[in-house]
Structure 1
């Protein structure tokens, strides 16, 4: 009877060892599989056209009195507004900016005072989705000088062309970047005589929007990079 009990105990112990060995073996195998992975980056890039133009048109004015300065500002505002409306822009797209007025006599000696006591920096901001019309207006803006509007230095460089439709193309670009990463991983796996398994981890980079080149600010390049780790089998 005692020998029978010892036999049963030994059998149970042996079965326990077998089960433990299977579990440990599976764990080691899973560890080794998860430890074999490749990290790749996928790039998606797309050219898009700007859909919003913002152009601050700033100009300088002078006057020997505030009344004269105010009259000059009104005249310049009228000239700039007429210039823009002639090119198809509406009142809703044109916003006046508050003037910045300087009293040039305030800190100057009497014998050093300039002829015009007051100067002002004034402007209107054009905000429109008419990209082509904005570009034409920029090219033709020298006409304002002929009407007596003294444009501020670097006035043309202040124009911005923006792309606001990123959310509409995000899903497609993420899919493109993921597919590009998988192609790179597949090539690596083929060179290593392995196969691509499931994704171990994935990180999406930031979307960037940049000008394609300085001469065409209305053309943007949108980029995104994803970093993905694939398990190798």
Structure 2
């Protein structure tokens, strides 16, 4: 009797840990959404003030003034756009799977990816030209891409090029729900992972970033892929960068 109850007890502890994780993430999401909402309101004040200033400028302002004003307004508008995108994670229903064209979603993620990567890391896009339809939550997909981009940025120490790639390949085994698979790859030129790190990279809470890392980024990416009928894996070697691949079943266009 004791032996048979052990698995159930272990499962119960696992459920309790997962429930605690979800509660902490929900609380963090609420705080982040509130902060981003306030930040967005401040940005709207900045944009509005710049618009008023624009109306007060000389009819033909000096070129350097014109350039500085255009840069300031563009930066404020871009920051407002990014804050609205971040806010959407806190206010969207989240987790609801829907069918959408993958290429459009990946291109739509580019502004956020560039923001995550910073100005010293280039972003190369090698996207499949033909439409690829997948079925998952688009917000979860984008959040996974942001997690991978942040990991790549840290691995490259702030300089280099990240490649975002998509393609269609045959399903790796007959057990997959569809014959073809949409593959998304995030390729960095970073330090790569030694074998001892690779063995634990997908484990929940495992991190090489010390107190600055949550250890749930790669774990969440693979769980997202598997929850939607796919999978995730990576290829890495010290000094040769890392490629993280997310595979999702291709769905019909209609």
Q: TM-score, length-normalised on structure 2? A: 0.19
Kindly indicate whether structure 1 or structure 2 has the higher relative contact order, using CA contacts under 8 Å at least 6 residues apart: 1
Higher helix share: 2
Higher strand share: 1
Q: TM-score, length-normalised on structure 1? A: 0.21
Larger Rg: 1
